[in-house]
A and B are shown apart, each in its own frame.
Chain A
Amino acid sequence: MNYRSCKALNSFDLQLDPNKIYGLLGRNGAGKTTLLNILTGRIFQSSGKADVFGKCAYENIDILKQICYIEEKGFYASSVRISQVLQLASGLYPNWDAEYAERLLGLFELDKRKKYKQLSRGMESSLGLIVGLASRAELTIFDEPSLGLDAVIRERFYDAVIDDFAEHPRTIIISTHLIDEVSCLFEDVIIIDGGRLLLQADGVELKERAYYISGKEQAVRAAAAGAVIMSEENFGDTLILTVFAKNGLQKNNDTEIQSIPLQKLFVLLINPEIHENLRKGGVI
């Protein structure tokens, strides 16, 4: 996908399975929104093919009504009331659950008589979450869903996603910068950088392969044998290695091993040098 001379997405090959929750991660300008826009038929790719449920979404109403894309910004007209937004959504999405939407209004503490222009940034996000969850669309996409939300509402959203997904499995893509907070939801992680797909992996496996190993240098290096070292730091006699191990680690009593939070792993993975080492080491 090109924007004039700039390549927003390049050599991109991605396949999503049904009924999974995907975390779409990348820095600002990495190409996440471009990817989502192409998937939902909002913009046209310069070359290649983008199918949803086996067909191109562009101008295909049968496909479009199975997609609910909740953007970072709401774009609702300022004069409409929340009730009118929900009424519109009920007409657009065939699986819309009005009763669930009412419950979510209570959960996210929104008054449906309020006009859109009266909502704070967090309330706008909450409205998007209600539409996204109650749409029960086969493909539901949340782009930065927690923008402006307080910690309590964010927690309620994560719980609501898990509960509703258990009852009504569907494909959900969550694009976010609050990686650690949302990482418990992700089944699969997609990492994009500079318009390229860096990694698509099982979220749990990914976290189980990346570790901090600390202790005496000799013991740490022994434990890290066979793993790819992403970074190393010395604190006096103590060495801390950040490693990615495809087949687990050699544990010993002289080292302490800790999992790396997904956000830290993401930061390491988008470093070109580290990524190249991991690729050469055959671990990703």
Chain B
Amino acid sequence: MRIKALMRYFISTVKSPVIIFTCIYLVGAVFGAVVSATVTGAGMGVVETRDGVTQSWTVSIFAFSIFMLISSLIGSQNDTRFLITRSVSRKEIFTVNALFMGGLAGFMSLLQIAVIHIDALVRMLMGESFRGLELDIQHFMAANMTNPIVFFTVSFSIMIAVGAVGYLFGTFFAKWKIQTIGILAIGFMVFIACLMLPDFAMNWVVKPFRFMFSDGSNGLWIALKQVCFAVLVMTAAFPVVRRITAAKSG
């Protein structure tokens, strides 16, 4: 009952930013789909998919970056002071944040499926074959990414893992009293600029997370590893959240 009430309130407070971020994501992703379909070869983070196609824009990284940004904002505890004063425990706030991030990750994974279809559609319009979901992140992940359920599960678990890291960043930003939105905006722009460097995405974004991926598995093992990683990171974030809420409310 309390969690439900908190979720409803929380959603009503973040509805506008989520709509804005979703629009940014869709515009960016559609732009990425066009770029990846029209520009091949060296360029922005070249990725070669399992079927041998190279693309110069990784649609997924854009989604993950946006999600990390949102998670960092959630983690920065903008609403914590309000919630604490409304007889809400830190555990409840943490639970609501985690549930909200879970729901949002599911929503963004669905969006990603849609975007990847847009990418495939662009390619089809360009005279290539329709490639369904087997694009982008599949080359280093499960074998059967053409299956929407597997794709959703894997994409969702990556979102959760990335979101957990973002949440941890956000909590630290709040602890050090750093303006979260400013740092994230600068970081995001630097990140996008870096994507334009050849092989940046592969060497600096994909490889560090590679321990969670396994080619050839059915996707569930990947998802499990990522969710475990997310739980570990969130568990590490909780003590920080407790101290921030105490410090901030003083």
Q: Which residue of B lies closest to A85 (CB)?
A: B9
Instruction: Report the minimal beta-carbon distance from B137 to chain A, rounded to whole angstroms.
Output: 34
Q: For chain B, residues 1 to 21, give those with C-beta under 8 angstroms from any C-beta of chain A.
A: 1-2, 4-6, 8-9, 12-13, 15-16
Cβ–Cβ contact A37 & B250, under 8 A: yes
Given contacts A84-B12, A90-B5, contact A42 B249 (CB under 8 A): yes
Given contacts A79-B15, A91-B2, A91-B4, contact A64 B89 (CB under 8 A): yes
- Chain B residues near A71 (CB-CB < 8 A): 85
Instruction: Report the minimal beta-carbon distance from B37 to chain A, rounded to whole angstroms.
Output: 38
Q: A253 at interface (Cβ–Cβ under 8 A)?
A: no
Given contacts A79-B13, A88-B6, contact A43 B249 (CB under 8 A): yes
Among the listed A42, A77, A92, which residue makes an inter-chain contact with B2, where contact means beta carbons less than 8 Å apart? A92
Cβ–Cβ contact A37 & B88, under 8 A: no
Instruction: Report the minimal beta-carbon distance from A5 to chain B, rounded to whole angstroms.
Output: 15
Cβ–Cβ contact B1 & A77, under 8 A: no
Cβ–Cβ contact A64 & B12, under 8 A: no
Q: Which of B1, B86, B250 has the most CB of A within 10 A?
A: B86
Cβ–Cβ contact B13 & A77, under 8 A: yes
Binary contact readout B60-97 vs A (1 if CB under 8 angstroms, 0 otherwise): 00000000000000000001011011111111100000
- A91–B86 Cα distance when bound, in Å, is 11
Cβ–Cβ contact B86 & A88, under 8 A: yes
Cβ–Cβ contact A92 & B8, under 8 A: no
Among the listed A75, A90, A93, which residue makes an inter-chain contact with B85, where contact means beta carbons less than 8 Å apart? A75
Binary contact readout A270-281 vs B (1 if CB under 8 angstroms, 0 otherwise): 000000000000
Cβ–Cβ contact A43 & B246, under 8 A: yes
Given contacts A80-B9, A84-B9, contact A37 B249 (CB under 8 A): yes
Instruction: Report the minimal beta-carbon distance from B245 to chain A, rounded to whole angstroms.
Output: 8
Cβ–Cβ contact A92 & B88, under 8 A: yes
Instruction: Report the minimal beta-carbon distance from A79 to chain B, rounded to whole angstroms.
Output: 6
- A92–B8 Cα distance when bound, in Å, is 12
Cβ–Cβ contact B4 & A92, under 8 A: no
Q: Which residue of A lies closest to B5 (CB)?
A: A91
Instruction: Report the minimal beta-carbon distance from A112 to chain B, rounded to whole angstroms.
Output: 14
Q: Is the interface of B mostly helix, strand, loop or mixed?
A: helix
Cβ–Cβ contact B2 & A3, under 8 A: no
Q: Which of A43, A76, A88 has the most CB of B within 10 A?
A: A88
Among the listed A41, A59, A79, A89, which residue makes an inter-chain contact with B86, where contact means beta carbons less than 8 Å apart? A89
Q: Which residue of A lies closest to B86 (CB)?
A: A92
Cβ–Cβ contact A61 & B86, under 8 A: no
Instruction: Report the minimal beta-carbon distance from A56 to chain B, rounded to whole angstroms.
Output: 12
- A34–B246 Cα distance when bound, in Å, is 12
Cβ–Cβ contact B249 & A87, under 8 A: no
Cβ–Cβ contact A80 & B85, under 8 A: no
Given contacts A79-B16, A91-B2, contact A59 B91 (CB under 8 A): yes
- Chain A residues near B6 (CB-CB < 8 A): 88, 91-92
Cβ–Cβ contact A87 & B8, under 8 A: yes
Q: A44 at interface (Cβ–Cβ under 8 A)?
A: yes
Among the listed B1, B79, B84, B249, which residue makes an inter-chain contact with A91, where contact means beta carbons less than 8 Å apart? B1
- A37–B246 Cα distance when bound, in Å, is 9
- Chain A residues near B1 (CB-CB < 8 A): 91
- Chain A residues near B88 (CB-CB < 8 A): 64, 92
Instruction: Report the minimal beta-carbon distance from A267 to chain B, rounded to whole angstroms.
Output: 28
Listed A/B pairs (10) with beta-carbon separation below 8 Å: A34-B250, A41-B89, A42-B249, A65-B87, A66-B87, A75-B82, A77-B79, A79-B13, A84-B9, A88-B86
- Given A42-B250, A84-B12, A91-B4, 14 more A-B residue pairs with CB atoms under 8 Å apart are A34-B250, A40-B87, A42-B84, A43-B246, A60-B89, A61-B89, A66-B87, A67-B87, A75-B82, A77-B82, A80-B9, A88-B6, A88-B9, A92-B87
Question: When A and B form their complex, which 7 residue pairs have the shortest distance between CB atoms, in order from nearest?
Answer: A91-B5, A75-B82, A77-B13, A88-B9, A42-B249, A64-B87, A59-B89
